[in-house]
Amino acid sequence: MQTPISKLCNKDNMVNQEKLTMCLTFKVCVPHNLFSILDGFYKESLIAVTQMLKDRTKSSSKYYNTIPCVLSKGLISKYQKNKKLKLISNLVLPICGDKGKQVKIVEGGLRIPAIFKKVIIPVTFPKPTNGFIRQVEFFKRNKKWYMSYSYDVLITPQYQVKSYLGVDRNSVGNVATVADASTGKVLKLGIDTAGLTKNFRNRRANLQKKGAKNALVKIKHKQERRIKEVNHKVSRTIVDYAKLHCSAIVLEDLGKISKKGKAKRYVQKSQWSFYQLETFIKYKATLLGVPIIYISPRYTSRICSKCGSLNIANGKNYSCSSCGHFEHRDVNASFNISAMACFLYSKTEADRGATVGLIGNPLNQRLVKASQLESSDGVR
Residues 88 and 195 in one domain: no
User: What integer pLDDT is reported at residue 4 of this predicted model?
Assistant: 47
Q: Which of 154, 186, 220 is the endpoint of a domain?
A: 154
User: What integer pLDDT is reported at residue 292 of this predicted model?
Assistant: 94
Inside any domain, residue 2: no
Residue 271 near residue 291, CB atoms below 8 Å = no
Residues 30 and 134 in one domain: yes
Give the H/E segment covering residue 129: none
Q: Which of 154, 174, 199 is the endpoint of a domain?
A: 154
Residues 182 and 136 in one domain: no
Inside any domain, residue 265: yes
HSE on the CB side for 105, CA within 13 Å?
17
Domain of 49? 21-154
Residues 221 and 298 in one domain: yes
Distance from C-alpha of 379 to C-alpha of 294, rounded to nearest angstrom: 8
- Mean pLDDT, the chain, as a whole number? 82
Residues 284 and 195 in one domain: yes
Residues 189 and 307 in one domain: yes
Distance from C-alpha of 338 to C-alpha of 162, rounded to nearest angstrom: 12
Mean pLDDT, residues 14-34 taken together: 80
User: What integer pLDDT is reported at residue 11 of this predicted model?
Assistant: 53
Q: How confident is the model at residue 130 (pLDDT cuts 50, 70, 90)?
A: confident
pTM of the model: 0.76
Residues 331 and 258 in one domain: yes
Domain count, the chain: 2
Tens digits of residue pLDDT in 136-156: 999 999 899 999 999 988 888
- The SS3 call for residue 79 is helix
Inside any domain, residue 16: no
Tens digits of residue pLDDT in 194-213: 788 888 888 888 888 888 88
Q: How confident is the model at residue 45 (pLDDT cuts 50, 70, 90)?
A: very high
Inside any domain, residue 6: no
Residues 125 and 178 in one domain: no
Distance from C-alpha of 178 to C-alpha of 188, rounded to nearest angstrom: 6
E strands along the chain, which residues? Answer: 21-29, 93-96, 104-106, 109-111, 120-122, 133-141, 144-154, 163-169, 176-180, 185-189, 247-252, 292-295, 317-319, 326-328
Distance from C-alpha of 201 to C-alpha of 178, rounded to nearest angstrom: 28
Residues 203 and 340 in one domain: yes
Q: Which of 92, 119, 154 is the endpoint of a domain?
A: 154
Cα→Cα distances 248→220, 282, 324, 354, Å: 35, 12, 30, 16
Nearest to 376 by CA among 316, 313, 298, 317: 298
Residues 89 and 230 in one domain: no
Cα→Cα distances 194→116, 190, 296, 335, Å: 48, 12, 25, 23
